Amino acid sequence: MKRNRILAIALAALMLVTCCGLVATVSAEEGKIKIYFIPKNLGNPYFEALSSGFKDAIAELGEDKYEYIFTGPATAEATSQIEYVEAAVQNDADAIFIAANSNDALNGTFDDARDAGVPIYLINQDIPGSESHRDAAIMPVDFSTIGKAQIKLMAEQIGYEGEFAILSATTDAPDQNTWIELMKEVLANDEAYSKMTLVEVVYGDDQPEKSTIEMEALITKYPNLKGVIAPTTVGIAAACKVVQTRGLAEKIRVTGLGLPSEMKEFVMDGTCLGFQLWNPPYEGYLAVYLATAVKGGFKTEPGATFSAGKLGEYTILENGQILSLVDPMLYDITNIEEYAALF
């Protein structure tokens, strides 16, 4: 009997040690900061470039301290990201960064996530009209500058007169719609552009094939078309390819927002005289530092500042936004090779 009691005690002690060891292992994993990045859609080079910024910051701060999950839908539809947000919450995410496909379709999902203690950060955009459903928004640039900057660049390339069109992403994309409205305001209110006519806004759904089809249709529909603004990396590359293939670079100028690595050939051969963008990796890099600061007790309140490593100090604006840059950068023949090597 005594031997059995000793054996039982020993077995219980062994189980306790084993169990504690298991708990310690799980606890160590849970000690990592778990960051999710949910792009509009997977397979989009722009978001892969943005994702590289997350990885850069994590490598800098210590890969053993983070768990980074880059996941999302195959297509950029309004509700396609809901299941990914829900899965991130179920997997105990510490922070969710998302480039939302709609201004309001995810509001309920965002609310549920925040009720569960998981902060929601928009990245590369905001959700106008629905800001109360997120904690903060990392912006690639001051969006209020995009509309005017894009119209000015288009005007310079077509001589401030003639017909032009806009090739956008999806009809529900908040960032795209914001820029387009700003472009229309500039056209309506600035006399410098009075001889320019916006003939149509079309949508390529951030898919190369559909963007190509829409560009082809614009050329057929508007024989006097002088330019196209594509404020989407997928759209501008597709539009330039159509113009390049048809040999129409002297007749139709294409500009917009693009990735240097994808646009290099079009700039080098004169298909595109210049385009704009910011620095996508900066956004992901900044996101990791923000998530780390919040995990350490930082509050994303207007006026609060935090450090983002090599990028310096950042301040939460009154509207809950954080600006990676103020103005978009111009990429042309003078710098395309330098930046194409980076992203």
Q: How far apart, in whole angstroms, are the C-alpha atoms of residue 153 and residue 35?
A: 37
Residues 237 and 299 grouped into a single domain? no
Asked if residue 113 and residue 168 are part of one domain, the reply reads: no
Q: Give 5: exposed, middle or buried? Use CB within 10 Å, 0-12, 13-18, 19+.
A: exposed
Mark whether 82 and 134 lie in a shared domain.
yes
Q: What is the three-class DSSP state of 11? A: helix
Task: Supply 230's token pair.
Answer: 């594509």
Both 247 and 163 in a single domain? yes
- Flag whether 294 is in a domain: yes
Together in a domain, 288 and 254:
no
Encoded tokens for 87 = 């899965």
* Gyration radius (Cα) of the chain, Å: 24
pLDDT at position 12 is 37
Closest CA to 145 of 179, 177, 172, 173: 179
Q: What is the pLDDT along the chain (343 residues), one digit of tens a residue?
A: 433 433 333 333 333 333 333 222 223 355 899 999 999 999 999 999 999 999 999 999 999 999 999 999 999 999 999 999 999 999 999 999 999 999 999 999 999 999 999 999 999 999 999 999 999 999 999 988 999 999 999 999 999 999 999 999 999 998 899 999 999 999 999 999 999 999 999 999 999 999 999 999 999 999 999 999 999 999 999 999 999 999 999 999 999 999 999 999 999 999 999 999 999 999 999 999 999 999 999 999 999 999 999 999 999 999 999 999 988 999 999 999 999 998 9
Q: Is 226 found in the same domain as 163?
A: yes
Contacts of 158 (CB under 8 A, 6+ apart): 164, 196, 226, 227, 253
What pLDDT, on a 0 to 100 scale, did the predictor assign at position 174? Answer: 87
CA angle 288, 290, 291 (to 5 degrees): 65
Q: Whole-angstrom Cα distance, residue 82 to residue 105?
A: 9
Task: Fill in the DSSP letter of residue 273.
Answer: S
- Domain endpoint, select from 277, 293, 317: 277
Looking at the DSSP assignment, which residues form a beta bridge with residue 323?
139
DSSP state of 103: S
- Name the token pair of 168: 């956008």
Give yes or no for a contact between 45 and 53, defined as CB atoms under 8 angstroms apart.
no
Q: Are residues 103 and 170 in the same domain?
A: no
Strand partners, 197: 163
The CATH number assigned to the domain holding 157 equals 3.40.50.2300
DSSP code per residue over 289-329: HHHHHHHTT----TT-EEE-GGG-EEE--TTSEEES-SSPE
Q: Are residues 248 and 154 in the same domain?
A: yes
Any domain includes 187 = yes
- Say if 8 falls within a structural domain: no
258 phi, psi to nearest 5 deg: -140, 170
Domain membership of residue 37 as a residue range: 33-141+280-325
Q: Please report the sign of the dihedral spanned by the C-alpha atoms of residue 93, residue 62, residue 48, residue 148.
A: positive
At residue 30, the pLDDT reads 59
Count up the domains in the chain and report the number: 2
Nearest to 88 by CA among 62, 120, 122, 63: 120
104 and 212 fall within a common domain: no
Same domain, 320 and 271: no
- In this prediction, residue 306 carries a pLDDT of 98
Predicted TM-score (pTM) of the model is 0.78
Task: Tell me: do 273 and 308 sit in the same domain.
Answer: no
Structure confidence at residue 29 (pLDDT): 55
Pair 147, 130 in one domain? no
